[in-house]
Amino acid sequence: MAEGYRVAILGATGAVGTELMALLEERQFPLTELRLLASPRSAGKTLPFKGQSLTVQPLGDRAFDDIDIVLASAGASVSREWAAKATAAGAVVIDNSSAFRMDPKTPLVVPEVNPQAAAHHQGVIANPNCTTILMAVALWPLHQIQPIQRIVVATYQSASGAGAQAMEEMKQQAQAILDGTEPKTEAFPYPLAFNLFPHNSPLNDNGYCQEEMKMVNETRKIFGEADLRVTATCIRVPVLRAHSEAVNLEFAAPFSPDQARAALVAAPGVKLLEDWEANYFPMPQDASGQDDVLVGRIRSDLSHPNGLELWLCGDQIRKGAALNAVQIAELLVQKQWVKPMATLA
Amino acid sequence: MAEGYRVAILGATGAVGTELMALLEERQFPLTELRLLASPRSAGKTLPFKGQSLTVQPLGDRAFDDIDIVLASAGASVSREWAAKATAAGAVVIDNSSAFRMDPKTPLVVPEVNPQAAAHHQGVIANPNCTTILMAVALWPLHQIQPIQRIVVATYQSASGAGAQAMEEMKQQAQAILDGTEPKTEAFPYPLAFNLFPHNSPLNDNGYCQEEMKMVNETRKIFGEADLRVTATCIRVPVLRAHSEAVNLEFAAPFSPDQARAALVAAPGVKLLEDWEANYFPMPQDASGQDDVLVGRIRSDLSHPNGLELWLCGDQIRKGAALNAVQIAELLVQKQWVKPMATLA
């Protein structure tokens, strides 16, 4: 038989699920089987993969039989319910939800930053929050040269972060407003087209929303810096796809823009994009569909002797979700941190 | 004759000019004459005011004869050319452009912050940059109680900041993208609809764009704090009207969210808008057309013992431009810092 792994995608019909399929095909992931799983409501649909047509199967007790790797992207409650069943069946789960990210037993992995964390997995590896992944990839190369002591970040998060339905809703809202009619809201609490609002995830008692606390806590866990000082303001903006972030950094000592540029040019997963003559810097429309996080507008901070300002854009669905998950799967394969192919005979 | 002042609007046909007319009418500014001035290209147009129809006159050598107050909003080059002629003719110029803002002889005034600065004018009073005004109004009440030592701000600036033509262009771009055709760009260097980009004002050698340097330098001048530490990242977003700002503050000592709220509730020009139960905070669509700067999401900064995070939205055309200018005119009248009405007989 062909050499490869048996992979299941949980939540195959969502925006991230679709991207997972595209990436497995594009990156020629060594597959012997791809099983598409979704809620009973979506079961029976067919999706194209490598010129074939795959039928989506309903989640059920035997769904994970003979599966090596599960790429889960169906929300935290589904992951909480099904992850243990998948690992009990012998699979490794790479989970895109927030369910296990802060669980001390679960590695939280960005392959460019902390690949070694995945070595000690106990069946589940968590894929971080999208805004956190994008920031971590861009800041880690700097942190290796001069320790970052404080991060103040403001985000510009696109509709895609809320899923395919939210993207469609924003387009319909825009058309309604252009037509002079009332925009409808369902996926979002307020109209997003031509408007913006603080991220509507539930609020903690400290006034931070959950999305902001993910940036604080997950960055600390990924960097292995429990005391890293991080604050975030997360804002949803009327952009279709790709998130942007204005990042203010304080280092332990002065760190020049040119030092930062040199570190970023040499780093994986990052692309320096600065044309100072043309006043051209990363934009969501350039980051959409790209694997790399685009970084630019690197400046010494006028307000702090050890400060640096930078601006980044990244595709929330790719590097912010599906690509990072597939990279984790590739890492498991490469390091043989999943059942080796030999056992598949 | 009726008691009042003779006012000219320079740049009457622009977005701010239109708003200036609306505000003079709405606020019952004591007028005996309103003269509308614009480029020869716009001269001859008629605009409604108090039920009448006023004809726009071309800028020329006699344009400021018998005028007490000029509200100028036609760009820096026009102000540089015409302000001296207006003051030589005896008028006080309230200038909305950047031409004189950092001139040491020219007061830079936000009436809620530094009204006394206007007392010593030498014919020209500068109206600050829009994002700077909105931030100054919200931060000054806090600074009075506990000195602010550092400001890290990221902006979300609407199309309206680039004028009426830019707002129209963004709507046309949105329609083009919804129709699957190529969006056209003229007022902006890149498509703004469903996209965003760093503010495209010219870049300084230090990497900051001019819009960002305005926030740094003008805030210092308005606050009378030459050494205030300020850094800014200015981003243009696909919102039609009203700017938003994510503001991170460091105070000289701990300053609680409740202290900040108490200061803001008592302050002029600011409205506290926080519904933590409903996850409802200031949005551009709520700020549009409003006089007050909306402030909310006040939180203690997890990353700094003396830090505070807040979020604000304000109408760039009203408080960010036209309203502030009219308030300066009202201040001049109230304090008799302009030729008193008695001389008009």
Helix, strand and coil in chain B, % to nearest 5: 35, 25, 40
**How confident is the model over A247-267, as a mean pLDDT?**
98
State whether B91 and B171 are in the same domain: no
Cβ within 8 Å of B, A 205-264: 206-209, 216, 229-231, 233, 235, 237-240, 244, 246, 248, 257
At A164 the pLDDT is 83
Whether the CB-CB separation of B37 and B60 falls below 8 Å is answered with no
Q: How far is B276 from chain A (nearest CA, A)?
A: 8
Query: CB A229 to CB B152 under 8 A?
Result: no
CA angle B118, B121, B124 (to 5 degrees): 105
Tell me if A27 is assigned to a ligand binding site: no
**Alpha carbon distance A265, B319 (integer Å):** 43
Active site residue B130: yes
Q: Residue A161: pLDDT band by 50, 70, 90 thresholds?
A: confident
> Would B125 be classed as within a structural domain?
no
In the predicted model, is pLDDT for residue A343 greater than 60?
Answer: no
Q: How far is B257 from chain A (nearest CA, A)?
A: 10
Tell me if B11 is assigned to a ligand binding site: no
Q: When comparing pLDDT for B297 and A2, which is higher? A: B297
Residue of chain A minimizing CA distance to B209: A279
Predicted structure pTM score? 0.96
Q: Which of A130, A199, A234, A313 is catalytic?
A: A130
State whether B172 and B263 are in the same domain: yes
Q: When comparing pLDDT for A2 and A122, which is higher? A: A122
pLDDT tens for each residue of A63-102: 999 999 999 999 999 999 999 999 999 999 999 999 999 9
Q: Two tokens at A318?
A: 């790719």
Q: How far is B270 from chain A (nearest CA, A)?
A: 19
Tell me if A236 is assigned to a ligand binding site: yes
Domain that holds residue B147: 132-314
State whether B55 and B24 are in the same domain: yes
State whether B74 and B222 are in the same domain: no
Q: Two tokens at B270?
A: 């600011």
CA B155 to chain centre: 14
Interface test mutation site (partner A, options B150, B152, B295, max chain A beta carbons within 10 A): B152
Phi first, then psi: give them for residue A309, nearest 5 degrees.
-105, 140
pLDDT tens for each residue of A20-69: 999 999 999 999 999 999 999 999 999 999 999 999 999 999 999 999 99
State whether A271 and A149 are in the same domain: yes
State whether B19 and B53 are in the same domain: yes
At B154 the pLDDT is 98
Query: CB B303 to CB A151 under 8 A?
Result: yes
Chain A hits for B233, Cβ within 8 Å: 154, 246, 248, 297, 309, 311
Whether the CB-CB separation of B230 and A303 falls below 8 Å is answered with yes
Chain A hits for B298, Cβ within 8 Å: 207
> Would B305 be classed as within a structural domain?
yes
Count of domains forming chain B: 2
> Would B187 be classed as within a structural domain?
yes
Q: How far is A147 from chain B (nearest CA, A)?
A: 16
Tell me if A14 is assigned to a ligand binding site: yes
pLDDT-flagged residues of chain B (< 50): 1, 342-345
State whether A84 and A158 are in the same domain: no
In the predicted model, is pLDDT for residue A302 greater than 60?
Answer: yes
Q: Beta B69-72 vs B92-95: how paired, if at all?
A: parallel
- A330: Cβ contacts below 8 Å, ≥ 6 apart: A27, A29, A111
**Alpha carbon distance A326, B266 (integer Å):** 54
State whether A90 and A156 are in the same domain: no
Q: Which of B121, B130, B234, B313 is catalytic?
A: B130
Nearest to A55 by CA among A9, A104, A23, A1: A9
Residue of chain A minimizing CA distance to B296: A198
State whether A327 and A297 are in the same domain: no
DSSP H or E stretch at residue B153: strand B148-156
> Would A259 be classed as within a structural domain?
yes
Query: CB A152 to CB B248 under 8 A?
Result: yes
Query: CB B208 to CB A302 under 8 A?
Result: yes
Chain B hits for A237, Cβ within 8 Å: 156, 196, 237-238
State whether A74 and A189 are in the same domain: no
At B145 the pLDDT is 97
Active site residue B313: no
Residue of chain A minimizing CA distance to B194: A239
Residue of chain A minimizing CA distance to B308: A231
Cβ within 8 Å of A, B 151-180: 151-152, 154, 156, 171, 174-175, 178
> What letter represents residue B240's amino acid?
L
At B345 the pLDDT is 42
What DSSP string runs through B5-71? EEEEEETTTSHHHHHHHHHHHHTT--EEEEEEEE-TTTTT-EEEETTEEEEPEEP-TTTTTT-SEEE
Nearest to A287 by CA among A277, A296, A300, A278: A296
> Would A295 be classed as within a structural domain?
yes
> Would B113 be classed as within a structural domain?
no
**Alpha carbon distance A112, B18 (integer Å):** 53
Q: Two tokens at B134?
A: 């909105």
Nearest-10 crossing angle of helices B323-335, B15-26: 40
> Would A104 be classed as within a structural domain?
no
State whether A293 and A337 are in the same domain: no
Q: How far is A53 from chain B (nearest CA, A)?
A: 28
Residue A255: give its domain's CATH number.
Answer: 3.30.360.10
pLDDT tens for each residue of B236-255: 999 999 999 999 999 999 99
Residue of chain A minimizing CA distance to B284: A195
Q: Which of B121, B143, B243, B313 is catalytic?
A: B243
At B1 the pLDDT is 46
Chain A hits for B180, Cβ within 8 Å: none
**Alpha carbon distance B271, B266 (integer Å):** 9
Q: Which of A121, A199, A243, A313 is catalytic?
A: A243
State whether A309 and A326 are in the same domain: no
Residue B92: give its domain's CATH number.
Answer: 3.40.50.720
Query: CB A301 to CB B276 under 8 A?
Result: no
**Alpha carbon distance B310, A164 (integer Å):** 31
At A341 the pLDDT is 60
> Would B118 be classed as within a structural domain?
no
Residue of chain B minimizing CA distance to A228: B303
Query: CB B233 to CB A239 under 8 A?
Result: no
DSSP structural state of residue B294 = E
At A1 the pLDDT is 46
Cβ within 8 Å of A, B 280-309: 280-281, 283-285, 297-304, 307, 309
At A2 the pLDDT is 59
Query: CB A154 to CB B208 under 8 A?
Result: no
Instruction: Return the HEC string of chain A.
Output: CCCCEEEEEECCCCHHHHHHHHHHHHCCCCEEEEEEEECCCCCCCEEEECCEEEECEECCCCCCCCCCEEEECCCHHHHHHHHHHHHHCCCEEEECCCCCCCCCCCCECCCCCCHHHHHHCCCEEECCCHHHHHHHHHHHHHHHHCCEEEEEEEEEECHHHHCHHHHHHHHHHHHHHHCCCCCCCCCCCCCCCCCCEECCCCECCCCCEHHHHHHHHHHHHHHCCCCCEEEEECEECCCCCCEEEEEEEEECCCCCHHHHHHHHHCCCCEEECCECCCCECCCHHHHCCCCCEEEEEEEECCCCCCEEEEEEEECCCHHHHHHHHHHHHHHHHHHCCCCCHHHHC
